[in-house]
Each structure stands twice: as C-alpha cells, then as structure tokens.
C-alpha cells in the first residue's frame, strides 16, 4: 500500500485504474502495447519488437474453441457490468490468450482473462458470481466447514480483519479470494469473531 500510485513500468502504476497502465518511460499514455513495452527496454541497443503475434492466426483451429470459451465475458452472466465496463477489449484479449492454450489440457489463461474482467466489474460496483463447479472453480469450500474457509467473489472493503485491530491494512479494496473466520483473543470487550483476509490470489 505504501507504493500505491508511486510506481510505473511494465506492471502498471498501481492506482487501481487499468485504463492508464500503458504509460511509456517518458510518462506518455499510449494505446499500443508494443510501443509501451519497447519504451521500457533496459538496454538501448536492443531492437524494438515490431511484429504483432496473433495466436489465433498461428493456431486457426483453436479460434472457434477460444471464442466459445471467452463468450462468457459477453454473456448474460456479466450483463449487469456491460454498461459499466466495456467487455469487448477483455473478450478479444481472452480469445487471443486462449488460442495459445493446449486444447487437450486446462487453460489457465481463460480463467485469468475472465477474472480480470470480473475484477474491473468489481471496481465499478458490479459483483459478479461467475465461477461454477465446472468453470474456473475455487475448491476451498469443499475442504472446510462453513465457519472456516469461504470463497467470496467480492470481499467487502469495510470488512474488519484481524490486522485492522492493530490499525494495519484497514483500506482493503473489494477483492476476490478465500476468507477465513478467526477469533481475536483480546479482552472480553474486544473478543469477537472477525473475518481475516488470508488469500487474495486465486
């Protein structure tokens, strides 16, 4: 949190706005990913990357499968979010990423792409329950009782945590993740069940 809004580079600027992450080394906002990436080269004598790689063109037999998978972003599942966050760029990025997948195995990039759109929807105020037992499932609920681990697609930023008692990490944005109920062993007044955010990486 102390570096929020104070960084830049290939990983973005960490200000909760994905729309302005393509800032070049000269702090110019661009729309071309290659131009953005080339500006951050470590060595000046390294040649620019000019060729755009389209995974679906390289693997045309995967396009139909990729479009079918990624249609979930444009489906009624995300209907409440479509007017807030344009699904098309996320859908197109998803299709390109999934075309790179091995159709014979699990496609992690599909889940990552849909999760990225869900996160932007979450930031815009639309909490979407898009995961199912068959689509990018989270299994924590299957291995723990209800009063232990729980999966939540949108964690509440006002949710008290074990750390917040000590005035740490109190500004938690809405995040998807696995949550746990923990017991604070303080005095009788403070002793209560509070929710501890243990994992925000899914």
Q: What is the pLDDT of residues 115-147, one digit of tens each?
A: 999 988 988 889 999 998 888 887 665 556 655
Overall pTM > 0.75? no
pLDDT score for 49:
75
Domain count, the chain: 3
Residue range 98-119, pLDDT digits in tens: 998 765 455 788 999 999 999 8
Q: 35, 52, 69: which is the final residue of a domain?
A: 52
Q: What is the pLDDT of residue 187?
A: 45
Residue with tokens 């074990």: 162
Task: Provide the pLDDT for residue 7.
Answer: 85
- Tell me: do 60 and 114 sit in the same domain: yes
> Token pair of 179, please?
């949550």
Q: Are residues 46 and 59 in the same domain?
A: no
Q: Are residue 147 and residue 108 in the same domain, yes or no? A: no
CA 200 to the chain's CA centroid: 10
Domain, as residue range, for 80 = 55-123
Q: What percentage of the chain reaches a pLDDT higher than 70? A: 67
Average pLDDT of span 167-173: 53
Q: What is the mean pLDDT of residues 187-195?
A: 43
* Cα 120 to Cα 130: distance, rounded to the nearest angstrom: 13
pLDDT digits (tens, 9 = 90+) for 67-88: 999 999 999 999 999 999 999 9
Establish if 134 belongs to a structural domain.
no
* SS3 labels along 69-81: HHHHHHCHHHHHH
- Cα 50 from Cα 9, distance rounded (Å): 19
Give percent of the chain with pLDDT exceeding 90: 21
Q: Is residue 133 part of a domain?
A: no
What b-and-e string marks burial along 147-185, b requiring 16 or more CB atoms within 10 Å of the CB? Answer: eebbbbbbbeeeebbbebeeeeeeebebbbbbbbeeeee
Tell me, yes or no, whether 132 lies in a domain. Answer: no
The confidence score (pLDDT) of residue 113 equals: 92
For the cut 50, the answer to whether the pLDDT of residue 202 exceeds it is no
- Torsion region of 139: left, alpha or beta (phi above 0 gives left; psi -120 to 50 gives alpha): alpha
Same domain, 118 and 96: yes
Instruction: Look at the alpha carbons of 197, 198, 200, 202 in this order and tell me if their dihedral is positive or negative.
Output: negative
């Amino acid at each position: 949190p102390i570096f929020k809004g104070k960084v830049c580079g290939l990983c973005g600027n960490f200000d909760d706005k994905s729309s302005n992450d393509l800032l070049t080394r000269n702090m110019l906002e661009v729309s071309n990913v290659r131009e953005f990436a080339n500006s951050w080269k470590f060595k000046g004598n390294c040649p620019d990357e000019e060729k755009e790689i389209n995974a679906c063109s390289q693997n045309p037999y995967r396009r139909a499968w990729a479009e079918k998978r990624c249609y979930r972003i444009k489906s009624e599942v995300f209907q409440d979010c479509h007017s807030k966050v344009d699904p098309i760029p996320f859908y197109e990025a998803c299709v390109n990423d999934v075309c790179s997948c091995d159709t014979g195995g699990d496609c992690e990039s599909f889940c990552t792409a849909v999760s990225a759109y869900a996160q932007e929807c979450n930031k815009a105020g639309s909490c979407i329950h898009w995961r199912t037992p068959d689509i990018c499932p989270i299994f924590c609920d299957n291995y723990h009782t209800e009063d232990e681990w729980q999966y939540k697609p949108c964690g509440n930023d006002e949710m008290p945590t074990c750390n917040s008692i000590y005035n740490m990490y109190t500004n938690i944005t809405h995040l998807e993740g696995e949550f746990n109920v923990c017991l604070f062993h303080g005095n009788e007044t403070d002793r209560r069940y509070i929710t501890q955010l243990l994992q925000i990486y899914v």
